[in-house]
A and B are shown apart, each in its own frame.
Chain A
């Protein structure tokens, strides 16, 4: 019975959650950090919220000599330790019945044959009906071989109504060329609707909040243009260092790790035109249009900045610098802070720069978009009255405390006429959020439901590289090392200078 003629379903029945259809999730890289800290807990949380189909199965694949029970134990511990919702035995019982483990390495043909058999058995025993999703929580260098093996052993091939889907993690390449190569590998085996690229900093909830804010209100869109907006600042700051992930981070750096994906996606959502509808396709079209018209500022020396954290005191603790982290070569020129000015060449945004910055070991953990407005064209007050008045700003806080802040001037009580900035706050954290499902829960559920991803497809990934490649090449060609900045501060002086040149300053988030 299809969803359309099921008499128990009704579009008006909005209490009913969408439970994914019969399916399994095959997890590559179960021993990894991501799998244990995020993916397995997300699967457990989904089960606990009653959103996984009865008969849902979880298959682990790793080069370990394990039995199903050993794998179940790993899952049990990971779920118990990291899940967001309380641990319940009956939920666990439901999950553990569907756990299977396939030992083997990625180049082992026998292992993939066993995986194919395991999946067939699940279809028979658990009613997964040929629907399987493959989560590649593995180093990107291993993608080609695993995707190749999936194809070789018929695992990527769906029969009849069933589906096969693949989920890949960032980084999606390290420049335009490598991104295209990666896409060639994946798209040869899976069609575009079956490929899910996750951007976990930008959960679907965030994307939808921004869209609702911009397009459900009559109040903001009329001023959302160069007539009223002076510039936009997009910040993603982390307070932690690279924390033992030298192998992943060194040679990649802040721009590739964060700007290419998270910040450019955020920028696209803020800058794009109104989509004709909110389906994934129309959204993608608008994001691609705006990304295609976005370029770094001409003078890359004047309008980019990069830095590396040096030792210092961060949040009351003494921390080491980037060069002192283990496995980082003393000569490493990888940036841990990056800032760029981008210009969007459209009528709406002409003359409105977008400043993007990200870094590790900054003042605090925060992600936000600040839309800074032009000053009122005329102020009928004395100069001293408005001395402390800044520019009006609208700040969309993404994390940790999702919400909206409006900054405007108000009279200081008790003074003759003294105007100063005040904040008005709205927190999503409290309002409405169904105790904030983790981005990974949303993603895994979307994959199983076959919801077209709001996450980027390869065109967007490639457009983003086109924007960033000139900056990265410019930095690579430079003889200057990145500027050092003390840990726990808001980045190198060069970043401040970069805005000062335009007569502006970074907001302290």
Chain B
């Protein structure tokens, strides 16, 4: 059931929500969170669909905030959608000066008591926690891979990190991280170095590198491949390489020294799957925090002038020389 409201305000939207709920005959409020999706007209369809898809796992009130042109007179148009799925959705289109005061529309529409998550499916503010919408949320979800400049987005996120921030580029890594952790469960040799290959500018690869460096205390080289996404993570040990290689974006090979290679399914997950994972826990993600702190520290170290220029040495991506050779990195491309 859809209700359109033009030139409206938050209390009329709230009243429309109650009416719509009564009309479909389900006065029960089983919803567990409010999800605010900050998007634009071009991307709102996909984003709202992904948000609706997670409703079966996390019944939510989804508020889509679309900022239109900041010129002209201030105004709000809304569409209330209730019915299919276990949540409800409101699309809020803001015009004129109101585009700078989106929180004034959102605040009265939040579910009582329950947590608020703000998600920027596209370009995110440089400091999400300082954004007026971000400030009302427990959890701020950005997607560095969707921003205009991927590496810049990630760095900005790393510098401005505040408890409750998280990025879908990090969420995308979970299956890789789980397999790598499982691989080290089965290896008793120390890791002395390693490398990552990924599509150019892939923010997940940057995070993977920071995570591995932070956890393992070794330098990890970053190499460019043709993708898709991450294609190769390799950890050097005295016994040989522990590696996870995924050339095609769907299935990978799991390599342990002294054992036969094994295929593992490792497909790239859809947006609803990623969102659902992120909404499962709403407290601070400590490991992400440590990872972005490492990243910010490494970047500011790199920003200081150094004698050798980057182009001169192919291994410039890692500040110190590699501790061990990597025998099987054949498809190395220039970084």
- Check: A9 CB closer than 8 A to any chain B CB: yes
Q: With the chains together, A433 CA to B55 CA distance in Å?
A: 11
B177 touches A16 (CB 8 A): yes
Residues in B with CB closer than 8 Å to A431 are 30, 32, 58-59
B264 touches A1 (CB 8 A): no
A16 touches B181 (CB 8 A): yes
- Check: B311 CB closer than 8 A to any chain A CB: no
B265 touches A1 (CB 8 A): no
A127 touches B260 (CB 8 A): yes
Q: Say yes or no: A50-B178 contact (C-beta < 8 A), given A14-B281, A425-B30, A434-B57.
A: yes
**Nearest CB in chain B: distance from A6 CB, A:** 5
Residues in B with CB closer than 8 Å to A93 are 251, 263, 265
Binary interface profile of B, 148-170, with partner A (CB < 8 Å = 1, else 0)? 00000000000000000000000
- Check: B113 CB closer than 8 A to any chain A CB: no
- Check: B12 CB closer than 8 A to any chain A CB: no
**Nearest CB in chain B: distance from A478 CB, A:** 46
A126 touches B30 (CB 8 A): no
B265 touches A50 (CB 8 A): yes
**Nearest CB in chain B: distance from A202 CB, A:** 22
Q: Say yes or no: A15-B182 contact (C-beta < 8 A), given A54-B262, A127-B260, A427-B30.
A: no
Which interface residue of A3, A47, A48, A91 has the most chain B CB atoms within 10 A? A91
- Check: A107 CB closer than 8 A to any chain B CB: no
A430 touches B55 (CB 8 A): yes
A127 touches B286 (CB 8 A): no
- Check: A173 CB closer than 8 A to any chain B CB: no
B184 touches A47 (CB 8 A): no
Q: With the chains together, A433 CA to B175 CA distance in Å?
A: 19
Residues in B with CB closer than 8 Å to A7 are 184, 191, 215-217
Residues in B with CB closer than 8 Å to A9 are 181, 184-185
- Check: B326 CB closer than 8 A to any chain A CB: no
Prevailing SS type, chain B contact patch = mixed
Q: With the chains together, A431 CA to B280 CA distance in Å?
A: 10
Residues in B with CB closer than 8 Å to A427 are 28, 30, 86
A15 touches B174 (CB 8 A): yes
Q: Say yes or no: A15-B287 contact (C-beta < 8 A), given A50-B178, A425-B30.
A: yes
- Check: A8 CB closer than 8 A to any chain B CB: yes
Which interface residue of B55, B179, B217 has the most chain A CB atoms within 10 A? B179
Residues in B with CB closer than 8 Å to A91 are 265
B58 touches A432 (CB 8 A): yes
Q: With the chains together, A50 CA to B177 CA distance in Å?
A: 11
- Check: A21 CB closer than 8 A to any chain B CB: yes
Closest to A51 in B: B178
Q: With the chains together, A8 CA to B220 CA distance in Å?
A: 14
B184 touches A54 (CB 8 A): no
**Nearest CB in chain B: distance from A293 CB, A:** 37
Of B56, B212, B267, B286, the contact of A435 (CB 8 Å cutoff):
B56
Q: With the chains together, A169 CA to B279 CA distance in Å?
A: 36
Q: Which A residues, 10 to 36, have Cβ-Cβ distances below 8 Å to chain B?
A: 10, 12-17, 19, 21-22
Q: With the chains together, A433 CA to B30 CA distance in Å?
A: 13
Would you give 15 A-B contacts (Cβ < 8 Å), ordered by A? A6-B185, A7-B184, A8-B212, A9-B184, A15-B177, A16-B178, A16-B181, A54-B263, A90-B250, A127-B259, A127-B262, A129-B186, A426-B28, A431-B32, A435-B56
For the complex with contacts A433-B57, A434-B280, 5 further pairs of A-B residues with Cβ separation under 8 Å are A1-B188, A6-B184, A8-B180, A21-B182, A129-B186
* Chain B contacts to A: CB under 8 angstroms: 28, 30, 32, 55-59, 86, 171, 174-175, 177-182, 184-189, 191, 212, 215-217, 250-251, 254, 256, 259-260, 262-267, 276-277, 280-281, 285-287
* Nearest 3 interchain pairs by C-beta: A54-B254, A90-B251, A430-B86
* Chain A contacts to B: CB under 8 angstroms: 1-3, 6-10, 12-17, 19, 21-22, 47-48, 50, 53-55, 88, 90-91, 93-94, 97, 125-127, 129, 424-427, 430-435
